[in-house]
Structure 1
Amino acid sequence: MATIKDVARIAGVSVASVSRVLNNGPKVSKKTIENVLKAMKDLNYTPNANARALVTQRSTTIGVVIPDLVDPFFASLANGVEQVARQNNMQLLLSTGLVSAESEMQAINLLIERRCDVMVVHSKKLSDEALIALAKKTSGLVLIDRYIEEIAERCVWLDNLEGGKIAARHLLSLNHKSFACISSKHQIDDPLLRLQGFQHELKLVGADIAPDLIEYGPPTLQGGEIATQKLLASGKSFSALFVYNDAMAIGAISTLEDNGFKVPSDISVLGFDDVLLSRYSRPKLSTLNYPIEKMAIQATNIALELSTKNTVIDDRKNYKHIPRIIKRESTSFKSG
């Protein structure tokens, strides 16, 4: 395997000159750069990332913390980060937080130990104080799907409260008057805010959701199926169902159809996230678009800028995103 000394010998320069070329150092002639790059190509030489990190005191890795590897929503998040990593010739190091404060801290510490000074963190369980302290230690740490006022310049987030309101307005515009809701059992802000926004908008027109028409479950296909079974077991009728995420919504549709209900002619179902699966369910799922991949790209670029310049970005208003309705086939006008 070729070494940096081999590259220097073939290029006819010093090892220090090769190092400066590899690390974009100053005062390197064009001829030297050409000779070094040609020698690297001829020798099939690949720089050692860890060694470069020791020399430059900078990592060539972008870290990302997500709750799990299964949910397609988080796969989209990771994909957004990876796109930026590839554009900057960096590697992606992924760690999972498992919706647990202890696991989230372990995941972040793992990235820090691996010399990641650029990281995008999806944290729902760590306290604001803990994340503020971590941000002070890590210049390139940016939060996604979380807003903390004290470090607002490091937060790329979705307005879940407004998302719930938009969902309610969509179903109300379709003349629905009786509603049910399926939410996530995870004690985090997102499901609480979506439900709060939904109920707020209903109350403005004198509508509401009966307590026994709100069910909770794991944010999975099976979680949606079981929660829907409980709704049907209540014996109360409803014409519109607002669901925490697309996976649960697709599970809900399956259960409704299995029990003789037609979607959307009998019951309209509205999801949240707009993951790829929502376009291929039957019927195709109406949902709210959560631009997580776009947000991940933005968050990663901010993290890179903060890590290289160690400066605060002032234009905070662009970091808040608003979901939008994607009308497909699972919601329709309710006559009568």
Structure 2
Amino acid sequence: MATIKDVAREAGVSIATVSRVINKSPKASKASVHSVTQAMEKLGYRPNAAAKALVSQNSNTVGVLVGDVSDPFFGSMVKAVDTVAHEYSKHILIGNGYHNPEDERKAIELLINNRCDALVIHSKGLSDEELIGYAKEVKGLVLINRHIPELSERCISLDNRRGAYLATEYLIRHGHKQIACIASNHDIEDAQDRISGYLAALQEHSIELPKSYIEYGEPNSDGGEVAMTNLLTKSLTVTGVVAYNDYMAAGALSVLDENGVKVPEQVSMLGFDDGLIARYVHPRLTTVRYPIEMMAERAARLALNLANSEPVEEEAIIFTPTLVRRNSVDKISA
């Protein structure tokens, strides 16, 4: 596989000149652009992230990839990373990935090209192999809310399956057996793990329910409204609902209210994340706490330590979810 040195040799220029051409620097002459481009094509060279970024240079910035910065969940994550960055006299650059491989790829490349000293990456679209490739090129890259065995010491994750299990079991301990699941329709491991946790709790307590008790939607309040509406349309007997996140739960609560179904007297509801909305819907939402601020702070410190070649723990960091009891769950008689 050709390297940047091979390209420089073929084009008859310096490595710095090749880097300027790759980064489309205005300092690169037309002749240099022509010769370097021809050399890359001849050698089949694809600039890797490290070459494009000139990572040996410091920019006093920390790059952050999120799903969508307008989502309060990611806003909390960014705030926590920013707090740590300021302790190190650094600023942050943010890229949105929207759980889409191409958007995530472009955002990561852009952050690297801006020579960020460290990267905190929330990626759900890219494959393990591609993220491993980026990690090999950028020593200060840390993954949050993702676990890849080959990069375990650079992963900060949450036991999503455990969280959904806790939520479902909480309803079971309150006498519920007809428990529906409002799930995310995004094809990501979080969604799959939470459905797995829901099913595991049912199975452990010998509760068998048809697949129709699982309804999917976009992981926001609109998706929660659609999913809850579909559950009601099926005329299923439902006494409890576990939702993928607090926003889906909030949407579901609004549909139940519109249809005269009282919560928690007739249907109990649990969310996931413990975002701000959980405290202000009515009734206040019992939910599973996702410690995203703690996780993001840990990820930022780990990324900066790695970037500075400081010693770090050589094992995965997996956070455990906890239950937050409020007013949306009620006991039912056996």
| TM bracket (short chain) | 0.7 to 0.9
For 2:209 and 2:285, locate their aligned partners in 1 and report how far apart those are by CA, in whole Å. 22
Q: Is the 8 A contact 2:305 2:312 kept in 1?
A: no
For 1:180 and 1:90, locate their aligned partners in 2 and report how far apart those are by CA, in whole Å. 46
Match for 1:192: what amino acid? Answer: Q
Match of 1:235 in 2: 235
Match of 2:83 in 1: 83
Q: Is the 8 A contact 2:54 2:113 kept in 1?
A: no
Match of 2:66 in 1: 66
Q: Name the SS of the counterpart of 2:126 in structure 1.
A: coil
Match of 2:185 in 1: 185
C-alpha distance after superposition, 1:98-119 (max 9, x if no partner): 1111111111000000001301
TM-score by length of 2: 0.82
Identical-pair percentage:
43
C-alpha distance after superposition, 1:217-239 (max 9, x if no partner): 11111110111000000011110
Match for 2:172: what amino acid? Answer: L
2:145 is aligned with 1:151: no
For 1:131 and 1:117, locate their aligned partners in 2 and report how far apart those are by CA, in whole Å. 17
Match of 1:160 in 2: 160
Q: Name the SS of the counterpart of 1:309 in structure 2.
A: coil
2:112 is aligned with 1:112: yes
2:211 is aligned with 1:211: yes
How far apart are residue 185 of structure 1 and its match? Answer: 0.6
How far apart are residue 85 of structure 1 and its match? Answer: 1.1
Q: Is the 8 A contact 1:219 1:248 kept in 2?
A: yes
Distance change >3 Å, CA 75–CA 165, structure 1 → 2: same
Match of 1:8 in 2: none
Q: How does 1:1-336 map to 2 (within 5 A)?
A: 57-309=57-309, 311=311, 313-314=313-314, 316=315, 319-336=317-334
For 1:97 and 1:209, locate their aligned partners in 2 and report how far apart those are by CA, in whole Å. 36
How far apart are residue 312 of structure 1 and its match? Answer: 5.0
How far apart are residue 54 of structure 1 and its match? Answer: 9.2
For 1:297 and 1:102, locate their aligned partners in 2 and report how far apart those are by CA, in whole Å. 27
Match for 2:74: what amino acid? Answer: F
How far apart are residue 335 of structure 1 and its match? Answer: 2.1
TM-score by length of 1: 0.81
Aligned length: 282
Match of 1:4 in 2: none
Match of 2:47 in 1: none
How far apart are residue 333 of structure 1 and its match? Answer: 1.0
How far apart are residue 310 of structure 1 and its match? Answer: 5.7
For 1:242 and 1:122, locate their aligned partners in 2 and report how far apart those are by CA, in whole Å. 24
How far apart are residue 199 of structure 1 and its match? Answer: 0.7
For 1:55 and 1:253, locate their aligned partners in 2 and report how far apart those are by CA, in whole Å. 49
For 1:55 and 1:269, locate their aligned partners in 2 and report how far apart those are by CA, in whole Å. 48
Match for 1:112: what amino acid? Answer: I
How far apart are residue 211 of structure 1 and its match? Answer: 1.3
For 2:278 and 2:215, locate their aligned partners in 1 and report how far apart those are by CA, in whole Å. 21
Q: Is the 8 A contact 1:67 1:99 kept in 2?
A: yes
Q: Is the 8 A contact 1:285 1:330 kept in 2?
A: yes
Q: Is the 8 A contact 1:272 1:289 kept in 2?
A: yes
For 2:333 and 2:250, locate their aligned partners in 1 and report how far apart those are by CA, in whole Å. 24
Match for 1:286: what amino acid? Answer: T
Q: Is the 8 A contact 1:117 1:141 kept in 2?
A: no
Match for 1:325: what amino acid? Answer: L
Match for 2:324: what amino acid? Answer: I
C-alpha distance after superposition, 1:130-156 (max 9, x if no partner): 111100100100000000011101000
Distance change >3 Å, CA 175–CA 83, structure 1 → 2: same
Q: Is the 8 A contact 1:139 1:310 kept in 2?
A: no
State the superposition RMSD in angstroms: 1.6
Q: Name the SS of the counterpart of 2:120 in structure 1.
A: strand
